[in-house]
């Protein structure tokens, strides 16, 4: 036990030392006087739990996402768990999700009592494709959890029709794709429900936070009960479900409302950064990932592919650049370790690198990063 504790302490210290030495971080939020003004208003009101800013935050995002209803949560994982439970997903059910994904997605499935079933991804989209889904469908399949990885998507129209034809629920984790569109329609408007995240590395942030979006009034009502400790609302004593405390604070929502007012700037900068990376990385051994359409998708991460991702990441970090590999495939993580083989996912993990992607990046910083990459690859 002592050995494990010492190792955890050492790992954490190494992590803190690494990010402290990054002069160009992997990501950094952009907060300032606008957020401070609204947070001060909350403090002056002396009402720190959900209030007017949470309601405004929900309303603005329901409009932006082209969904009728929005329900704020303390994080995206809570929104996913609650939405799936409200749809009746639970013990004995299987939910298909890609292996190349953040742990929040299979963990949320597991938290409902259902079983996550991993699938390979399409190398052109980094997302689930219908062909890969068909390979793992069973009689227990109840839902497909589509993840808009790094802001990209598969063909959502085809996926929606496939789920309808097979009576599968479609869950849409579009946390990395806020404000993105697919064929002129908000990515967040797809699915029985969609979920957003406002973690510190997202296009807009509340530090932590999430949102469930749907057109289904019954689903939003059920989700609200689960969110509020199993009761219909605060102040109600009758407990109808074995629920959770998943509420967002008024302080966080105030930050979110201020962030929304700057979202156009964030979106434009992210697109410009991605195009600049593409124009500067011309080496034949470096491939900049192509999003579906830069006019519709918002790059959550600037992703490139090289012969050996880990070696390049180590080199960039040594130069103060906050580079990261793609997500370690879930099917090979100790907690799941299914023993399966997903060739595309594994190849993408071995070769994929996430470069700094904050809107605050300067042209000089991106030029420096690209110069390091080009020199290293040569």
304-350: pLDDT as tens digits: 999 999 999 999 999 999 999 999 999 999 999 999 999 999 999 99
CA torsion, points 43, 49, 50, 51, in degrees to nearest 10?
A: -40
Q: Answer yes or no: do 271 and 252 share one domain.
A: no
Tell me whether residue 330 is in a domain: yes
pLDDT under 70: residue ranges of the chain: 1-5, 8, 11, 294-295
Which of 208, 229, 260 finishes a domain?
260
What is the predicted pLDDT for the residue at 378? 82
Q: Answer yes or no: do 352 and 279 share one domain.
A: yes
Tell me whether residue 183 is in a domain: yes
Q: Answer yes or no: do 19 and 62 share one domain.
A: no
Which of 234, 260, 286 finishes a domain?
260
Q: Any idea what the CATH number is for the domain that residue 276 is in?
A: 3.90.1150.10
Q: Any idea what the CATH number is for the domain that residue 171 is in?
A: 3.40.640.10
What is the predicted pLDDT for the residue at 294? 67
Tell me whether residue 167 is in a domain: yes
Global model pTM greater than 0.85: yes
Q: Answer yes or no: do 103 and 223 share one domain.
A: yes
Phi, psi of 152 (to 5 degrees): -95, 170
Which of 210, 239, 260 finishes a domain?
260
Closest CA to 26 of 323, 372, 287, 284: 323
Residue 108 belongs to domain spanning: 33-260
User: How far apart are the C-alpha atoms of 62 and 60, rounded to whole Å?
Assistant: 6
What is the predicted pLDDT for the residue at 133? 98
Q: Answer yes or no: do 216 and 245 share one domain.
A: yes
Q: Answer yes or no: do 227 and 96 share one domain.
A: yes
Q: Answer yes or no: do 7 and 38 share one domain.
A: no
Residue 320 — left, alpha, or beta (φ > 0 → left; ψ -120 to 50 → alpha)?
left
Q: Answer yes or no: do 43 and 138 share one domain.
A: yes
Tell me whether residue 368 is in a domain: yes
Alpha helices in 46-111, H assignment, sequence order: 52-64, 76-86, 104-111
Tell me whether residue 123 is in a domain: yes
Tell me whether residue 223 is in a domain: yes
Q: Answer yes or no: do 93 and 192 share one domain.
A: yes
Looking up tokens 């980094």, which residue turns up?
126
What is the predicted pLDDT for the residue at 232? 83
Residue 27 — left, alpha, or beta (φ > 0 → left; ψ -120 to 50 → alpha)?
beta
Q: Answer yes or no: do 248 and 104 share one domain.
A: yes
Report how many domains make up the chain: 2
Tell me whether residue 28 is in a domain: no
pLDDT digits (tens, 9 = 90+) for 102-127: 999 999 999 999 999 999 999 999 99
Q: Answer yes or no: do 123 and 15 share one domain.
A: no
What is the predicted pLDDT for the residue at 234? 75
User: How far apart are the C-alpha atoms of 29 and 205, rounded to whole Å?
Assistant: 7
Q: Answer yes or no: do 122 and 218 share one domain.
A: yes
């Amino acid at each position: 036990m002592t050995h494990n504790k010492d190792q955890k302490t050492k790992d954490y210290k190494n992590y803190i030392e690494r990010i402290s030495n990054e002069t160009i971080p992997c990501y950094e939020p952009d907060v300032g006087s606008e957020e401070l003004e609204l947070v001060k208003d909350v403090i002056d009101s002396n009402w720190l739990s959900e209030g007017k800013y949470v309601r405004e935050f929900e309303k603005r995002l329901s409009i932006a996402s082209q969904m009728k209803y929005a329900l704020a949560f303390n994080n995206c994982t809570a929104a996913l768990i609650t939405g799936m439970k409200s749809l009746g997903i639970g013990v004995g059910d299987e939910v298909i999700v890609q292996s190349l994904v953040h742990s929040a997605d299979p963990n949320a499935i597991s938290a409902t009592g259902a079983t996550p079933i991993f699938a390979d991804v399409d190398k052109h989209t980094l997302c689930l494709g219908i062909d890969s889904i068909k390979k793992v469908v069973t009689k227990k399949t109840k839902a497909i959890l589509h993840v808009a990885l790094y802001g990209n998507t598969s063909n959502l129209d085809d996926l929606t029709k496939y789920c309808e034809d097979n009576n599968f629920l479609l869950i849409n984790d579009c946390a990395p794709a806020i404000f993105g569109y697919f064929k002129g329609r908000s990515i967040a408007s797809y699915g029985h429900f969609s979920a957003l995240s406002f973690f510190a590395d997202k296009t807009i942030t509340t530090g932590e936070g999430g949102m469930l979006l749907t057109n289904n009034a019954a689903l939003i009502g059920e989700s609200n009960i689960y969110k509020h400790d199993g009761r219909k609302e605060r102040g109600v004593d009758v407990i109808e479900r074995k629920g959770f405390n998943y509420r967002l604070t008024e302080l966080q929502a105030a930050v979110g409302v201020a962030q929304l007012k700057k979202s156009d700037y964030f979106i434009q900068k992210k697109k410009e950064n991605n195009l600049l990376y593409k124009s500067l990385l011309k080496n034949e051994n470096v491939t900049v990932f192509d999003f579906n359409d830069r006019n519709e998708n918002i790059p959550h991460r600037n992703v490139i592919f090289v012969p050996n991702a880990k070696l390049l990441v180590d080199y960039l970090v040594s130069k103060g650049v906050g580079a990261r590999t793609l997500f370690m495939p879930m099917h090979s993580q100790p907690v799941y370790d299914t023993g399966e083989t997903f060739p595309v996912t594994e190849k993408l993990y071995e070769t994929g690198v996430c470069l700094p992607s904050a809107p605050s990046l300067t042209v000089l910083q991106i030029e420096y990063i690209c110069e390091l990459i080009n020199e290293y690859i040569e």
